[in-house]
Amino acid sequence: MSYPLEGLRVLDFSWFLAGPYATMILADLGADVVKVEAPERGDPSRTAGPFANGVSGYFLSVNRNKRSIVLDLKSEAGRARAAKLAGRADVVVENFVPGTMKRWGLDYATLAETNSRLIYASCTGFGQTGPRALESAFDLVIQALAGTMSITGEAGAAPVRVGNSIGDLGGALYLTIGILAALQARHRTGRGQALDLSMMDAQVALLENAFMRYFVTGETPARLGSRHPLIVPFQAFPTSDGYVVVTAGTEAQWGRLCEALGASELKEDARFLTNTARRQNIPALETELSARFKTRTTDEWLEILRDHEIPCAPIQTIAQAASDPQIAAREMIVNVEDAQAGTQRIVNTPLRFSEMQSGVRTSAPQLGEHTDEILRDWLAE
Protein backbone atom coordinates (compact mmCIF):
# COMPACT_ATOMS: atom_id res chain seq x y z
CA MET A 1 0.00 0.00 0.00
CA SER A 2 1.10 3.56 -0.62
CA TYR A 3 1.36 6.44 1.82
CA PRO A 4 -1.15 9.36 1.78
CA LEU A 5 1.51 12.04 1.30
CA GLU A 6 3.89 10.07 -0.89
CA GLY A 7 5.72 12.40 -3.28
CA LEU A 8 5.19 15.50 -1.12
CA ARG A 9 8.40 17.44 -0.46
CA VAL A 10 8.81 19.23 2.86
CA LEU A 11 11.80 21.45 3.61
CA ASP A 12 11.97 21.65 7.39
CA PHE A 13 13.95 24.46 9.04
CA SER A 14 12.34 23.92 12.45
CA TRP A 15 13.96 22.66 15.63
CA PHE A 16 13.18 21.30 19.11
CA LEU A 17 9.51 20.21 19.31
CA ALA A 18 6.56 22.08 17.80
CA GLY A 19 7.82 22.26 14.21
CA PRO A 20 9.58 18.86 14.21
CA TYR A 21 6.50 17.15 15.68
CA ALA A 22 4.37 18.54 12.86
CA THR A 23 6.85 17.45 10.19
CA MET A 24 7.11 14.06 11.91
CA ILE A 25 3.38 13.62 11.29
CA LEU A 26 3.87 14.53 7.64
CA ALA A 27 6.81 12.12 7.41
CA ASP A 28 4.78 9.33 9.04
CA LEU A 29 2.25 9.89 6.27
CA GLY A 30 4.92 9.41 3.62
CA ALA A 31 6.17 12.93 2.86
CA ASP A 32 9.85 13.35 2.01
CA VAL A 33 10.84 15.58 4.94
CA VAL A 34 14.28 17.14 4.57
CA LYS A 35 15.53 18.47 7.89
CA VAL A 36 17.83 21.45 7.45
CA GLU A 37 20.42 21.59 10.22
CA ALA A 38 23.32 23.86 11.11
CA PRO A 39 26.87 22.51 10.79
CA GLU A 40 28.52 20.86 13.80
CA ARG A 41 25.63 20.97 16.29
CA GLY A 42 22.48 20.58 14.22
CA ASP A 43 19.08 20.69 15.90
CA PRO A 44 19.72 21.64 19.57
CA SER A 45 17.49 18.78 20.65
CA ARG A 46 20.29 16.41 19.60
CA THR A 47 21.98 17.38 22.88
CA ALA A 48 18.89 16.71 25.04
CA GLY A 49 18.85 13.53 27.10
CA PRO A 50 18.25 10.81 27.87
CA PHE A 51 20.73 9.17 25.51
CA ALA A 52 20.94 5.69 23.95
CA ASN A 53 24.54 5.00 22.95
CA GLY A 54 25.08 8.72 22.53
CA VAL A 55 21.87 9.33 20.54
CA SER A 56 19.30 11.69 22.03
CA GLY A 57 16.05 9.88 22.70
CA TYR A 58 14.30 13.25 22.48
CA PHE A 59 15.64 13.86 18.97
CA LEU A 60 15.05 10.29 17.85
CA SER A 61 11.43 10.26 18.96
CA VAL A 62 10.23 13.19 16.83
CA ASN A 63 12.59 13.06 13.85
CA ARG A 64 12.03 9.54 12.55
CA ASN A 65 11.31 9.05 8.84
CA LYS A 66 13.23 12.25 7.95
CA ARG A 67 16.43 12.97 6.04
CA SER A 68 19.07 15.44 7.25
CA ILE A 69 21.00 18.01 5.26
CA VAL A 70 23.61 20.39 6.68
CA LEU A 71 23.39 23.99 5.48
CA ASP A 72 25.04 27.04 7.02
CA LEU A 73 22.26 29.61 6.75
CA LYS A 74 24.61 32.29 8.06
CA SER A 75 26.63 31.97 4.85
CA GLU A 76 25.63 33.23 1.42
CA ALA A 77 26.31 29.84 -0.14
CA GLY A 78 24.17 28.04 2.44
CA ARG A 79 21.27 30.42 1.95
CA ALA A 80 21.51 30.15 -1.82
CA ARG A 81 21.36 26.37 -1.63
CA ALA A 82 18.42 26.55 0.77
CA ALA A 83 16.58 28.82 -1.66
CA LYS A 84 17.16 26.34 -4.50
CA LEU A 85 15.77 23.52 -2.40
CA ALA A 86 12.75 25.66 -1.49
CA GLY A 87 12.17 26.15 -5.20
CA ARG A 88 11.54 22.39 -5.45
CA ALA A 89 9.57 22.05 -2.21
CA ASP A 90 5.84 21.75 -1.71
CA VAL A 91 6.05 22.89 1.91
CA VAL A 92 8.53 24.92 3.95
CA VAL A 93 8.29 24.80 7.75
CA GLU A 94 10.18 27.20 10.02
CA ASN A 95 10.01 28.35 13.63
CA PHE A 96 12.56 31.14 13.86
CA VAL A 97 11.84 34.47 15.55
CA PRO A 98 9.79 36.58 13.10
CA GLY A 99 12.06 38.46 10.70
CA THR A 100 14.91 35.94 10.78
CA MET A 101 14.02 34.18 7.53
CA LYS A 102 13.44 37.53 5.82
CA ARG A 103 16.96 38.68 6.76
CA TRP A 104 18.26 35.52 5.12
CA GLY A 105 16.17 36.02 1.99
CA LEU A 106 14.20 32.87 2.77
CA ASP A 107 10.84 34.44 3.65
CA TYR A 108 7.59 33.52 1.92
CA ALA A 109 7.40 36.59 -0.32
CA THR A 110 10.89 35.97 -1.68
CA LEU A 111 10.55 32.22 -2.17
CA ALA A 112 7.07 32.51 -3.69
CA GLU A 113 8.52 34.59 -6.54
CA THR A 114 10.09 31.44 -7.96
CA ASN A 115 7.73 28.86 -6.43
CA SER A 116 4.15 30.10 -6.50
CA ARG A 117 2.85 26.72 -5.32
CA LEU A 118 4.82 26.82 -2.07
CA ILE A 119 3.04 26.32 1.26
CA TYR A 120 5.10 28.29 3.79
CA ALA A 121 4.27 27.38 7.39
CA SER A 122 5.66 29.46 10.25
CA CYS A 123 5.23 28.20 13.81
CA THR A 124 6.24 30.62 16.56
CA GLY A 125 5.32 31.26 20.15
CA PHE A 126 3.11 34.26 19.45
CA GLY A 127 2.75 34.50 15.69
CA GLN A 128 4.00 37.10 13.24
CA THR A 129 1.97 39.99 14.70
CA GLY A 130 1.03 41.43 18.08
CA PRO A 131 2.97 42.94 21.00
CA ARG A 132 4.63 39.63 21.93
CA ALA A 133 5.60 38.60 18.40
CA LEU A 134 9.35 38.97 18.95
CA GLU A 135 9.41 37.29 22.37
CA SER A 136 10.87 33.83 22.80
CA ALA A 137 8.50 31.15 24.01
CA PHE A 138 8.79 27.62 25.30
CA ASP A 139 6.05 25.24 26.32
CA LEU A 140 5.98 26.41 29.94
CA VAL A 141 5.61 30.06 28.90
CA ILE A 142 2.69 29.21 26.61
CA GLN A 143 0.93 27.12 29.25
CA ALA A 144 1.33 29.95 31.74
CA LEU A 145 0.17 32.80 29.52
CA ALA A 146 -2.76 31.01 27.86
CA GLY A 147 -4.28 30.03 31.21
CA THR A 148 -3.60 26.28 31.10
CA MET A 149 -1.63 26.23 34.34
CA SER A 150 -4.26 28.26 36.15
CA ILE A 151 -6.77 25.41 35.79
CA THR A 152 -4.31 22.54 36.29
CA GLY A 153 -3.60 21.08 39.73
CA GLU A 154 -5.45 20.61 42.99
CA ALA A 155 -7.80 23.25 44.34
CA GLY A 156 -6.00 25.60 46.70
CA ALA A 157 -2.56 24.31 45.66
CA ALA A 158 0.06 25.86 43.41
CA PRO A 159 -0.58 25.83 39.65
CA VAL A 160 1.23 23.08 37.77
CA ARG A 161 2.32 22.40 34.22
CA VAL A 162 0.42 19.79 32.24
CA GLY A 163 2.51 16.61 32.23
CA ASN A 164 3.19 16.65 28.49
CA SER A 165 4.28 19.61 26.37
CA ILE A 166 0.77 20.57 25.36
CA GLY A 167 1.88 24.09 24.38
CA ASP A 168 4.25 22.71 21.75
CA LEU A 169 2.14 19.73 20.76
CA GLY A 170 -1.07 21.73 20.42
CA GLY A 171 0.77 24.11 18.12
CA ALA A 172 2.19 21.18 16.15
CA LEU A 173 -1.20 19.61 15.58
CA TYR A 174 -2.78 22.85 14.40
CA LEU A 175 0.26 23.49 12.20
CA THR A 176 -0.23 20.11 10.57
CA ILE A 177 -3.93 20.77 10.04
CA GLY A 178 -3.12 24.15 8.49
CA ILE A 179 -0.55 22.66 6.12
CA LEU A 180 -2.96 19.96 4.94
CA ALA A 181 -5.73 22.55 4.47
CA ALA A 182 -3.40 24.78 2.43
CA LEU A 183 -2.42 21.82 0.27
CA GLN A 184 -6.09 21.06 -0.38
CA ALA A 185 -6.66 24.71 -1.31
CA ARG A 186 -3.72 24.49 -3.71
CA HIS A 187 -5.44 21.62 -5.50
CA ARG A 188 -8.27 24.05 -6.33
CA THR A 189 -6.34 27.26 -6.98
CA GLY A 190 -2.89 26.09 -8.06
CA ARG A 191 -1.35 28.60 -5.66
CA GLY A 192 0.44 28.21 -2.37
CA GLN A 193 0.17 30.52 0.61
CA ALA A 194 1.73 31.44 3.94
CA LEU A 195 0.50 29.97 7.22
CA ASP A 196 1.07 31.93 10.45
CA LEU A 197 0.66 29.61 13.44
CA SER A 198 0.99 30.89 17.00
CA MET A 199 1.49 28.34 19.78
CA MET A 200 -0.40 30.64 22.12
CA ASP A 201 -3.31 30.89 19.69
CA ALA A 202 -3.41 27.10 19.46
CA GLN A 203 -3.36 26.77 23.24
CA VAL A 204 -6.27 29.20 23.60
CA ALA A 205 -8.16 27.18 21.00
CA LEU A 206 -7.63 24.02 23.06
CA LEU A 207 -8.97 25.85 26.13
CA GLU A 208 -12.29 26.58 24.44
CA ASN A 209 -14.38 25.10 27.26
CA ALA A 210 -12.64 27.12 29.97
CA PHE A 211 -13.06 30.35 28.00
CA MET A 212 -16.67 29.51 27.21
CA ARG A 213 -17.46 29.02 30.90
CA TYR A 214 -15.82 32.33 31.75
CA PHE A 215 -17.68 34.22 29.01
CA VAL A 216 -21.06 32.72 29.97
CA THR A 217 -20.80 32.97 33.76
CA GLY A 218 -18.27 35.73 34.33
CA GLU A 219 -16.52 33.41 36.80
CA THR A 220 -12.82 32.69 36.36
CA PRO A 221 -12.22 28.91 36.07
CA ALA A 222 -10.08 27.50 38.85
CA ARG A 223 -8.05 24.36 39.57
CA LEU A 224 -10.26 21.33 40.23
CA GLY A 225 -7.78 18.48 40.50
CA SER A 226 -9.13 15.52 38.54
CA ARG A 227 -12.72 16.80 38.57
CA HIS A 228 -14.64 17.84 35.47
CA PRO A 229 -16.00 21.39 35.66
CA LEU A 230 -19.47 20.43 34.42
CA ILE A 231 -20.09 16.70 34.99
CA VAL A 232 -20.37 15.18 38.47
CA PRO A 233 -19.07 12.66 39.41
CA PHE A 234 -16.23 12.67 36.89
CA GLN A 235 -12.94 12.29 38.77
CA ALA A 236 -10.47 10.05 40.59
CA PHE A 237 -11.36 8.45 43.89
CA PRO A 238 -8.98 6.80 46.39
CA THR A 239 -9.39 3.06 46.85
CA SER A 240 -7.85 0.90 49.55
CA ASP A 241 -4.67 0.48 47.48
CA GLY A 242 -4.63 3.27 44.90
CA TYR A 243 -7.04 5.26 42.74
CA VAL A 244 -9.81 4.63 40.25
CA VAL A 245 -11.26 7.19 37.86
CA VAL A 246 -15.02 7.16 37.42
CA THR A 247 -17.26 9.04 35.01
CA ALA A 248 -21.02 9.22 35.29
CA GLY A 249 -21.91 11.37 32.33
CA THR A 250 -25.61 10.56 32.28
CA GLU A 251 -28.33 10.15 34.89
CA ALA A 252 -28.56 6.47 33.96
CA GLN A 253 -24.87 6.02 34.67
CA TRP A 254 -25.26 7.87 37.98
CA GLY A 255 -28.00 5.46 38.97
CA ARG A 256 -25.91 2.42 38.07
CA LEU A 257 -22.95 3.88 39.98
CA CYS A 258 -25.06 4.15 43.12
CA GLU A 259 -26.07 0.52 42.70
CA ALA A 260 -22.46 -0.55 42.13
CA LEU A 261 -21.46 1.19 45.35
CA GLY A 262 -24.28 -0.45 47.30
CA ALA A 263 -25.67 3.02 47.91
CA SER A 264 -29.03 3.10 46.13
CA GLU A 265 -30.26 5.63 48.68
CA LEU A 266 -28.01 8.27 47.10
CA LYS A 267 -30.22 8.20 43.99
CA GLU A 268 -33.09 9.52 46.09
CA ASP A 269 -31.03 12.07 48.02
CA ALA A 270 -32.27 15.54 47.07
CA ARG A 271 -28.69 16.82 47.06
CA PHE A 272 -27.75 14.42 44.26
CA LEU A 273 -30.92 14.01 42.18
CA THR A 274 -29.55 15.77 39.09
CA ASN A 275 -26.16 16.70 37.69
CA THR A 276 -26.89 20.33 38.60
CA ALA A 277 -27.69 19.34 42.17
CA ARG A 278 -24.56 17.22 42.39
CA ARG A 279 -22.43 20.12 41.14
CA GLN A 280 -23.89 22.31 43.89
CA ASN A 281 -23.09 19.71 46.55
CA ILE A 282 -19.69 18.41 45.45
CA PRO A 283 -18.05 18.34 48.92
CA ALA A 284 -20.87 16.25 50.38
CA LEU A 285 -20.90 13.94 47.36
CA GLU A 286 -17.13 13.41 47.45
CA THR A 287 -17.37 12.50 51.13
CA GLU A 288 -20.07 9.92 50.44
CA LEU A 289 -18.35 8.35 47.44
CA SER A 290 -14.79 8.44 48.79
CA ALA A 291 -15.82 6.59 51.94
CA ARG A 292 -17.27 3.77 49.84
CA PHE A 293 -14.42 3.54 47.32
CA LYS A 294 -11.89 3.18 50.15
CA THR A 295 -13.49 -0.11 51.20
CA ARG A 296 -12.14 -2.13 48.25
CA THR A 297 -9.04 -2.38 46.07
CA THR A 298 -8.77 -0.73 42.68
CA ASP A 299 -9.04 -4.08 40.86
CA GLU A 300 -12.11 -5.04 42.82
CA TRP A 301 -13.83 -1.77 41.98
CA LEU A 302 -12.89 -2.04 38.31
CA GLU A 303 -14.61 -5.40 38.07
CA ILE A 304 -17.73 -4.14 39.84
CA LEU A 305 -17.93 -0.90 37.89
CA ARG A 306 -17.45 -2.60 34.54
CA ASP A 307 -20.19 -5.08 35.42
CA HIS A 308 -22.46 -2.04 35.92
CA GLU A 309 -21.27 -0.44 32.64
CA ILE A 310 -19.66 2.54 34.35
CA PRO A 311 -16.74 4.12 32.43
CA CYS A 312 -13.74 3.65 34.70
CA ALA A 313 -10.01 3.01 34.72
CA PRO A 314 -7.00 2.70 37.00
CA ILE A 315 -4.44 5.50 36.91
CA GLN A 316 -1.56 3.84 35.10
CA THR A 317 2.07 4.87 35.12
CA ILE A 318 3.85 5.34 31.80
CA ALA A 319 5.51 1.98 32.37
CA GLN A 320 2.13 0.33 32.86
CA ALA A 321 0.64 2.09 29.84
CA ALA A 322 3.58 0.91 27.72
CA SER A 323 2.56 -2.66 28.55
CA ASP A 324 -1.19 -2.15 28.22
CA PRO A 325 -2.72 -4.85 25.97
CA GLN A 326 -4.85 -2.28 24.15
CA ILE A 327 -1.78 -0.25 23.21
CA ALA A 328 -0.07 -3.47 22.11
CA ALA A 329 -3.06 -4.51 20.02
CA ARG A 330 -3.03 -1.15 18.26
CA GLU A 331 0.75 -1.38 17.66
CA MET A 332 1.29 1.99 19.29
CA ILE A 333 4.75 0.96 20.51
CA VAL A 334 7.08 -0.27 17.77
CA ASN A 335 10.79 -0.98 17.34
CA VAL A 336 13.02 1.12 15.13
CA GLU A 337 16.58 0.23 14.16
CA ASP A 338 19.11 3.02 14.61
CA ALA A 339 22.66 2.66 13.26
CA GLN A 340 24.17 4.10 16.44
CA ALA A 341 21.56 3.60 19.16
CA GLY A 342 20.57 0.08 18.11
CA THR A 343 17.02 -1.22 18.48
CA GLN A 344 14.84 1.37 20.17
CA ARG A 345 11.18 1.32 21.20
CA ILE A 346 9.27 4.31 19.90
CA VAL A 347 5.71 5.59 19.91
CA ASN A 348 3.94 4.97 16.60
CA THR A 349 1.49 7.19 14.73
CA PRO A 350 -2.16 6.83 15.80
CA LEU A 351 -3.39 7.18 12.21
CA ARG A 352 -4.89 4.04 10.65
CA PHE A 353 -6.24 3.92 7.09
CA SER A 354 -8.16 1.24 5.22
CA GLU A 355 -6.49 1.82 1.85
CA MET A 356 -3.13 3.42 2.77
CA GLN A 357 -0.39 3.01 5.32
CA SER A 358 1.48 5.25 7.74
CA GLY A 359 3.94 4.89 10.56
CA VAL A 360 7.60 4.50 11.48
CA ARG A 361 9.85 3.47 8.58
CA THR A 362 13.31 4.71 9.54
CA SER A 363 15.07 6.07 12.60
CA ALA A 364 16.02 9.73 13.00
CA PRO A 365 18.89 10.73 10.71
CA GLN A 366 22.44 11.39 11.76
CA LEU A 367 23.54 14.99 11.30
CA GLY A 368 23.93 15.71 7.59
CA GLU A 369 23.57 12.01 6.77
CA HIS A 370 21.67 12.63 3.53
CA THR A 371 23.22 15.91 2.32
CA ASP A 372 24.59 14.60 -0.99
CA GLU A 373 21.61 12.34 -1.54
CA ILE A 374 19.12 15.19 -1.06
CA LEU A 375 20.99 17.55 -3.36
CA ARG A 376 21.01 14.86 -6.01
CA ASP A 377 17.35 13.95 -5.56
CA TRP A 378 15.96 17.48 -5.37
CA LEU A 379 18.25 19.56 -7.55
CA ALA A 380 19.57 17.22 -10.24
CA GLU A 381 16.25 16.92 -12.06
Cβ contacts of 352-361, under 8 Å, gap ≥ 24: 353/4, 355/1, 356/1, 356/2, 356/3, 356/4, 357/1, 357/2, 357/3, 358/3, 358/4, 358/28, 358/29, 358/30, 359/28, 359/334, 360/28, 360/64, 360/65, 360/334, 360/336, 361/64, 361/65
Query: 263-272 contacts: CB < 8 A, separation 24 or more?
Result: 263/288, 263/292
* Terminal CA-CA length for the chain: 26
One DSSP character per residue, 124-163 reads ESS-SSSTTTTS---HHHHHHHHTTGGGSS-TTS-----S
| Beta-carbon count within 10 A of 29 CB | 23
- Is 228 labeled as catalytic in the residue annotation? yes
Is residue 50 reached through a cis peptide bond, with omega within 30 degrees of 0 on the bond before it?
Answer: yes
**Nearest in space to 351 (alpha carbons), one of 381, 330, 326:** 330
- Amino acid (1-letter code) at residue 98: P
Of 187, 228, 308, 370, the catalytic one is 228
Decide: 50 and 380 in contact? Cβ < 8 Å: no
Distant-in-sequence, close-in-space partners of 267: CB < 8 Å, separation ≥ 6:
254, 255, 258, 273
Closest Cα to residue 27, out of 67, 56, 57, 87?
A: 67
Write down the H helix ranges in 218-324: 251-260, 265-268, 275-280, 282-293, 298-307, 318-322
Report, as residue numbers or ranges, the catalytic residues: 228
